[in-house]
């Protein structure tokens, strides 16, 4: 039942109307052996009008027949039983127009290997050629040895199209074996400390069809830069982020031979060695660039951007974060480009002047991220209001923006299509702005009002009227239990963040959970007044939870987390940092109940041992851990007791720290 994309509409509607996924979950968690399989096959093939009564009757049939006589199709009427092919073929494909091999495409490499060891039939399915088109070794970099990687690449060398070695510590011989994958199109060797120019030479000679190449944070030099235009004639995506071993001369090589003229995406983040001349070389050789990312670049100036865009006029997406010397002159230079997405952060030199003619210079802008730009005022918002294509606007930490500017922005056509709006730390905003949002934004899905401390209960009431909203961040506001009760009437919210909200209690969270059965993300971090009661409420009402942060909640205990682990099987992200009462037991419970857990944060968990954390690290993709005493700003000591002015907490002797990271996540994801 991995997918219903190809199933007939009748079956899809039956699934939805009769809550079949919930029935499946109950059978799967409470049943065992072939019993649940027989019942599920019966209910899905016959589609009875009353599924529960049907199940009750079939269970009685199974009891009378005895488990020893149980067959997978015994709950299907004889007239409806399909003519099954030989065992080597799949049943599900005939029964439900599904392909059970599709399941394996959604598994990690480690899980595929495990599945191949279940039985002969599963082993055959894991040998499907297309299953090995994309291999992600980054998820098993601490588990699988080089010799397995070598044998895998040797066996599937003609099928491999995409390889991910992010963060892998491999021998040179292993990297050389990649050259045998003649059909390779995508290669990620970011953060691989042993990847060298010599490794690149072998790969470039054997894999001329590479389209995507991520070399970020490796030790490559100008030698590799010379290889790129010579061998990768069709290269489209290139990341050189934080590669500081090449120089301007290396960028000049990009124009040699056939050159890298098909390049459309380039990431030069952290390459502080590049001068204005280096950007001229890029402009001469890569005129087709449409997506440019340059983060963490304190040496980037207006002249660098000007030199680049003189010949790269096709740029549509631009990311400049951590570039404090960029000013309004850069915006003027970019007027020759057809920008759709632009992102600036932490810049004090960009002012309202950059936005004065934005509707004329960039009429197709759809994404604007101008977080922490202190020079932006209400005047800029007024200039943005005519943008009819705008869907995402991030003005977090733009502290000079107020109700007047937001009202003028929302009065324009830009408000109609806006889907995401981040107004975190825009401390001048009040209930008036939220009322305007509820009136003018029919498609708003994501809203952040973090630390907008002028928001009152009246403003919370207006949020309920934004019917399209699925995610709200009210962290650092004065929201109370009454506000949560009002918010629970929305019914469509899937994500709620109320971190550092000291006016809420267990009662408020319980009431919200009871009415928010589709909740997937909850952040109540640093609400030290909350207790086990909220965890139990989540386990009872919010079983679809995928992300939870209870960092800085010292009253949470093992018993509540055990209940959560037993009920919330879809949990992917969990932050229990500062939950000082939790012990090693919780890690055992998570391994049993939350098998989909990917990210686990447990900083300042004084009662969780280093040994237990090390065992857990092999079960998740990313883990952060230490057993230090909580910092003073947490407001309590290692026992969970509130600090007083006279307390002087010092780190405990033998405090240990362990951080294990197996993969990185994009912000969209991650983010999630």
What pLDDT, on the 0 to 100 scale, is given for residue 652?
A: 43
pLDDT for 69:
66
Kindly state the average pLDDT of the residues 612-620: 92
Higher pLDDT, 122 or 565: 565
CA atoms within 13 A on the CB side of 281: 17
Q: At 1, list the tokens.
A: 């039942």
Closest CA to 352 of 388, 382, 394, 316: 382
The answer to whether 427 and 401 have CB atoms below 8 angstroms apart is no
pLDDT at site 669: 34
CA 670 distance to own-chain centroid:
2
Rg of the chain's alpha carbons, rounded to an integer? 28
Least confident of 122-126, 138-142, 342-346, 571-575: 122-126
Confidence check: pLDDT of 65 > 80: no
CB 405 within 8 A of CB 395: no
Mean pLDDT over 530-541 rounds to 97
Contact by Cβ (8 Å): 341, 315: no
Top pLDDT among 361 and 47 is at 361
pLDDT in tens, 166-214: 999 999 999 999 999 999 999 999 999 999 999 999 999 999 999 999 9
Q: Could you report the per-residue pLDDT of 263-301, keeping only the tens digit for each?
A: 999 999 999 999 999 999 999 999 999 999 999 999 999
Average pLDDT over residues 629-654: 76
Higher pLDDT among residues 55 and 423, named by residue? 423
pLDDT exceeds cutoff 90 at 519: yes
**509 touches 532 (CB < 8 A):** no
**pLDDT range class, residue 43, cuts 50, 70, 90:** confident
Q: CA end-to-end span of the chain, whole Å?
A: 25
Q: In the prediction, which pLDDT does 445 show? A: 97
Q: Taking 90 as the threshold, does the pLDDT of residue 35 lie above it?
A: no
Task: Label residue 36 by pLDDT band (50, 70, 90).
Answer: low
Q: Is the pLDDT of residue 657 over 90?
A: no
18 touches 46 (CB < 8 A): no
3-state SS class at 58:
helix
Is it the case that residue 651 has pLDDT exceeding 70?
no
Whole-number pLDDT of residue 309: 93
Instruction: Specify the pLDDT at position 5.
Output: 55
Contacts of 552 (CB under 8 A, 6+ apart): 525, 526, 527, 528, 577, 578, 630, 634, 635
Q: How far is CA 521 from CA 445, 562, 565, 619, in A?
A: 14, 19, 15, 21
- Of 6-20, 417-431, 463-477, which gets the smallest average pLDDT? 6-20
Question: How far is it, in rounded angstroms, from Cα 297 to Cα 314?
Answer: 22
pLDDT tens-digit profile of 621-636?
A: 899 999 999 999 999 9
Q: Which of 567, 560, 501, 568 is nearest to 533 (CA)?
A: 560
Mind giving me the DSSP string for 85-129? --TTS-HHHHHHS--GGGGGGGS-HHHHHHHTTT-HHHHHHTT-G
Q: Which tokens go with 130? A: 């297309």
**pLDDT tens, position by position, 82-99:** 554 433 334 444 444 444
Average pLDDT, the chain: 87
Q: How much of the chain, in percent, has pLDDT values that exceed 70? A: 86
pLDDT grade for 124, boundaries at 50, 70 and 90:
confident
Residue 7: pLDDT above 80?
A: no
User: Long-range contact list for 323-332, CB < 8 A, 24+ apart?
Assistant: 323/294, 323/295, 323/297, 323/298, 323/347, 324/298, 324/348, 324/349, 325/298, 325/299, 325/300, 325/301, 325/349, 326/300, 326/301, 326/302, 326/350, 327/302, 328/353, 328/354, 329/302, 330/302, 330/305, 330/306
What's residue 52's pLDDT? 80
Contacts of 605 (CB under 8 A, 6+ apart): 576, 577, 578, 579, 580, 582, 625, 626, 627
Which pLDDT score is estimated for 13? 73
340: which DSSP letter?
S
Tell me the average pLDDT across 359-366.
Answer: 90
Q: Is the pLDDT at 649 greater than 50, yes or no? A: no
Dihedral sign from CA coordinates of 179, 180, 183, 189: negative
DSSP letters along 242-296, please?
T--S--HHHHHGGGSTTTTTT--EEE-TT-TT--HHHHHHHHHH-TT--EEE--S
Instruction: Evaluate if residue 101 carries a pLDDT over 60.
Output: no
Residue 394 to residue 382: CA distance in whole angstroms: 15
Share of residues in the chain with pLDDT > 90 (%): 70
In 3D, which of 311, 255, 259, 304 has the Cα closest to residue 283? 311
Cα 122 to chain centroid distance, Å, stands at 30
3-state SS assignment for residue 574: strand
Is it the case that residue 31 has pLDDT exceeding 80?
Answer: no
Least confident interval from 57-61, 215-219, 315-319? 57-61
Res. 538 pLDDT band, cuts 50 70 90: very high
Residue with tokens 């030790």: 219
């Amino acid at each position: 039942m991995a997918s219903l994309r190809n199933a007939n509409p009748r079956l899809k509607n039956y699934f939805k109307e009769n809550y079949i996924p919930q029935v499946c979950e109950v059978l799967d968690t409470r049943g065992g052996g072939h019993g649940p399989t027989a019942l599920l096959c019966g209910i899905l093939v016959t589609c009875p009008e009353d599924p529960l009564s049907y199940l009750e009757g079939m269970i009685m049939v199974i009891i009378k027949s005895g488990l020893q006589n149980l067959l997978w199709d015994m709950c299907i009427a004889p007239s409806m039983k399909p003519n099954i092919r030989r065992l080597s073929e799949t049943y599900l494909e005939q029964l439900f127009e599904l392909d059970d091999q599709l399941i394996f495409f959604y598994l990690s490499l480690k899980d595929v290997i495990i599945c191949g060891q279940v039985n002969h039939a599963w082993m055959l399915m894991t040998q499907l050629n297309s299953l090995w088109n994309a291999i992600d070794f980054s998820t098993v970099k601490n588990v699988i040895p080089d010799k397995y990687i070598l044998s895998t690449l040797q066996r599937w060398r003609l099928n491999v199209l995409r390889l991910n070695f992010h963060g892998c510590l491999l021998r040179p011989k292993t990297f050389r074996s990649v050259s045998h994958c003649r059909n390779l199109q995508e290669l990620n060797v970011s953060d691989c400390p042993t990847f060298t120019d010599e490794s690149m030479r072998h790969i470039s000679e054997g894999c001329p069809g590479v389209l995507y190449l991520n070399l970020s944070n490796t030790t490559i030099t100008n030698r590799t830069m010379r290889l790129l235009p010579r061998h990768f004639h069709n290269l489209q995506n290139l990341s050189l982020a934080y590669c500081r071993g090449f120089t301007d001369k290396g960028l000049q090589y990009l124009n040699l031979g056939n050159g890298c003229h098909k390049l459309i995406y380039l990431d030069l983040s952290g390459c502080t060695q590049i001068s204005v001349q280096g950007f001229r070389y890029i402009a001469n050789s890569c005129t087709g660039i449409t997506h440019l990312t340059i983060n963490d670049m304190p040496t980037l100036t207006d002249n660098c951007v000007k030199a680049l865009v003189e010949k790269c006029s096709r740029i549509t997406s631009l990311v400049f974060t951590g570039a404090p010397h960029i000013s309004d002159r850069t915006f003027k230079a970019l007027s020759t480009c057809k920008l759709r997405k632009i992102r600036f952060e932490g810049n004090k030199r960009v002012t309202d002047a950059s936005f004065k003619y934005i509707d004329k210079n960039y009429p197709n802008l759809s994404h604007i991220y101008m977080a922490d730009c202190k020079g932006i005022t209400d005047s800029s918002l007024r200039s943005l209001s005519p943008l009819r294509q705008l869907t995402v606007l991030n003005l977090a930490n733009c502290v000079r923006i107020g109700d007047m500017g937001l009202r003028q922005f929302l009065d324009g056509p830009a408000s109609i299509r806006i889907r995401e709006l981040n107004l975190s730390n825009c401390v001048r905003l009040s209930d008036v702005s939220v009322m305007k949002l509820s009136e003018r934004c029919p498609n708003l899905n994501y809203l952040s009002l973090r630390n907008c401390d002028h928001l009152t209960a009246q403003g919370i009431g207006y949020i309920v009227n934004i019917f399209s909203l699925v995610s709200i961040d009210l962290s650092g506001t004065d929201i109370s239990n009454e506000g949560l009760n009002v918010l629970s009437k929305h019914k469509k919210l899937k994500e709620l963040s109320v971190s550092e909200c000291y006016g809420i209690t267990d009662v408020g969270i319980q009431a919200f959970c009871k009415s928010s059965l589709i909740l997937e993300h909850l952040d109540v971090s640093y609400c030290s007044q909350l207790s086990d009661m909220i965890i139990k409420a989540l386990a009872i009402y919010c079983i679809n939870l995928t992300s939870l942060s209870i960092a800085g909640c010292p009253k949470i205990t093992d018993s509540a987390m055990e209940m959560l682990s037993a009920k919330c099987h879809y949990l992917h992200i969990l932050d229990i940092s500062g939950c000082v009462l939790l012990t090693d037991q919780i890690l055992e419970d998570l391994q049993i109940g939350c098998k989909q857990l990917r990210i686990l944060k447990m900083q300042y968990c004084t009662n969780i041992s280093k040994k237990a954390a090390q065992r857990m690290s092999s079960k998740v993709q990313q883990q952060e851990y230490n057993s230090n005493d909580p910092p003073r700003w947490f407001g309590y000591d290692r026992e969970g007791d509130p600090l007083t002015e006279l307390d002087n907490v010092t780190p405990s002797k033998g405090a240990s720290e362990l951080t294990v990271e197996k993969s990185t996540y994009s912000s969209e994801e991650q983010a999630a």
